[in-house]
Amino acid sequence: MRTTSKLRSRWATVLAASCVTALLAVANPAPSVADTPAPTLNNWDCQPSAAHPKPVIVVHGTMGDSVSLLENLEAALLNAGYCVFALDYGNRGTGPIADSAAELSTFVDRVLAATGAAKVSFVGHSQGGMMPRYYLKYLGGQDKVDDLIGLAPSNHGTYHYLLTSLAQGFCPACAEQGNGSPFITDLNWGDETPGNVSYTNVITQYDEVVVPSTSGYLWGWPDQVSNLKIQDYCPLTFVEHIGIPGNPTAIAMALDALAHSGPAQAWRSYPCA
């Protein structure tokens, strides 16, 4: 009987303590996740922090838009503490690339004015990794950009017959991205990596759109350019053109490039998924 009485007494003590804890929680609720606004894309009131002073502009590819395929990338950039912006351009990226670069130029100026930043950085997928180079080379962007990070960029065009054949009728940008096109030839004439800009190019050997995948590489000094193939770091990773902007390895490479002066560090190990 004494043992039973002691157990009852202990349970009564535990229950009383639990009730007190519950009452205190009601009186002094813990901060809710909802109490802290989540960082958002295209927040024109965002002020860059000392740790991340350069806003990041995400640039979609041909037939894309500012969100589709880019959700994981944009979320990772926001969660890392960057002010993140994205634009829709060129009739879903199908219009003449020079016109799209002019739209990008206007958008960059708007971001700089809103944030007070001196420069922006780009993370672009496919055409979005190549088109900003026209802005840098011809539209005065070199003094306004710190990093250009291309994920499966079409820097030297593609031999893919379907992509380039779509040019007939509604996609001038498709024809311009053909290997050896007048646009691509002009863009790559002379210095491929102009200005005091860091260039990081991330490719996958399974790219079925930018063919060959190494067309995404640029040539320049190692302290200014990094050309990274995902399978050199993660041999078992299968990711193709559409999937690369959401791939954790590609995202980690982009974040590394943004985190310090210069392009992504080729000697680093990166997470595989």
pLDDT digits (tens, 9 = 90+) for 87-131: 999 999 999 999 999 999 999 999 999 999 999 999 999 999 999
38-259 homologous superfamily: Alpha/Beta hydrolase fold, catalytic domain (3.40.50.1820)
Give per-residue pLDDT as tens, 222-255. Answer: 999 999 999 999 999 999 999 999 999 999 999 9
- Give the pair of three-digit tokens for residue 172: 């001038």
For 198, residues 6+ apart whose C-beta sits below 8 A from its C-beta are: 146, 147, 148, 224, 225, 257, 261, 262, 263
> How far is 213 from 139, CA to CA, in rounded Å?
27
List, for residues 119-144, the tens digit of each pLDDT value.
999 999 999 999 999 999 999 999 99
Estimate the crossing angle of helix 97-115 against helix 127-138, to 10 degrees: 80
Sequence-separated (6 or more) residues with CB below 8 Å from residue 29: none
pTM of the model: 0.86
